[in-house]
Structure 1
Amino acid sequence: MLKKTGFALVLAGLLAAPLPAVADAIGDNNICYEKFATADYKGAIRYCTSAIDSGELSDPDLIAALINRGVAYKTTEQYELAIGDYTRALRLAPKDALLYQNRANALRAMGDYDAALNDIQKSIDLDPKSAGAWYVRGAIAEDRGDPGGARKYYMTALSLEPENEVYRGKILGNGSQ
């Protein structure tokens, strides 16, 4: 039988003790995404904010966190905060069509149709094959009282993603935004 010294007992105790949970920016960012993916938008906002505020994220991870938090803000009708996140992300990725699309959609939801139209056109210019951008372009036209234009843009979105039920519903007149 081995005799344990005081140091060995302390070391063994430390090794056997559960490790404290270490919150890091990447972990918070991953949890943010999980919360977002399960429609827990308040949780997503909390974890994204923790990751963003840490200052430890690489630019691609920071952009992802800003997008996820922006979408969560938009979903919870905090449009100005969503627009702020998309604008911050665009400073890091000025050629990202999805960021312009997301910001356009938030601007549209706030009723700022001119700014939304400007952003969605930038998105389409950067990625003309983005069905989502054409859909948002259609929603802007619809909100502005242009059903013919809206239908044309929804048709473009549907032609790019023919299996999309939301786009199909817009064309058939029974869809929602």
Structure 2
Amino acid sequence: MKKYSALTLIIAMALCAPQFAQAQASKDVKEAAKYSKEGFEATENKDWDKAVDAFRKAAQLDRKQAPNLVAALQHRGMEYTTQKQFPEAIADFSEALKLKSDDANIYERRAYVEMKTNDYDKALADYSEAIKLKPNEVRYYLYRSYIYETKGDVKNSMADTEKALKLDSNNQEAKSRKTRLEARQSANTPLPPPPAASPKTSPAAAGRP
């Protein structure tokens, strides 16, 4: 009799488990909506710390709220950038990229801050990721070309400049950089060796018997 009672209890619990899970999920969604509302109110007041905190709590309860957190992190990151709080800005953009790694704009924003801190290698990597996501964006090639030029990599800088001109043949920045890079290439090109003199045409040999 006890075995049957235990079995009945197990079956009852198994049947009720999905209902409990559904009820908890519904509760989480409602709680997330509450935090999300707080986040939007904070956004209207440009209180980015409060907005990020509220949207982060909302996203932890309901992943559908993650885009709001991504947006708030970017806004705060840009605010940090304006205030020249570069480490904080990079941290926010990095967190945003963990949630949305296919957003070229976030890579660009982080790269901009990395350039401000002279971390050109990381900026180069971020612009390369942005180009993978948006291969027809002229601006990305121009910035990457600038970084290559700053690092003294004339070859890759010229390659990106050519790509920019292929996408926008009238781009004045690209035209100016190409002219400048061509001048650097010419200055760095060693002079060719003099031609070997032939005995028959050599002035020294002409007067000999």
Q: Say whether the fold is shared (TM-score over 0.5).
A: yes
- C-alpha distance in 2, partners of 1:170/1:28? 42
In structure 2, runs of 5+ residues without a counterpart are: 1-36, 60-64, 178-209
8 Å CA contact 2:164, 2:174 repeated in 1: no
TM-score, length of structure 1 as denominator length: 0.61
1:16-165 pair list within 5 angstroms: 24-32=38-46, 47-54=47-54, 55-56=57-58, 58-146=65-153, 149-150=156-157, 153=160, 156-157=163-164, 160=167
More relative contact order in 1 or in 2 (CA 8 Å, sep 6+)?
Answer: 1
Q: Give 1 or 2 for the bigger CA radius of gyration.
A: 2
- C-alpha distance in 2, partners of 1:75/1:171? 30
- C-alpha distance in 2, partners of 1:50/1:152? 45
Instruction: Provide runs of 4+ in structure 1 moved above 6 Å.
Output: none
Deviation, 1:152, is 5.5
TM-score, length of structure 2 as denominator length: 0.53
Q: Secondary structure at the match of 1:24?
A: helix
- C-alpha distance in 2, partners of 1:155/1:28? 45
8 Å CA contact 2:120, 2:147 repeated in 1: yes
How many residue pairs get aligned? The number is 134
In structure 1, runs of 5+ residues without a counterpart are: 1-22, 33-46
**In structure 2, do the counterparts of structure 1 residues 116 and 66 end up closer, same or farther at CA, with 3 Å as the change threshold?**
same
- C-alpha distance in 1, partners of 2:173/2:165? 10
Q: Secondary structure at the match of 2:93?
A: helix
**In structure 2, do the counterparts of structure 1 residues 139 and 29 end up closer, same or farther at CA, with 3 Å as the change threshold?**
farther
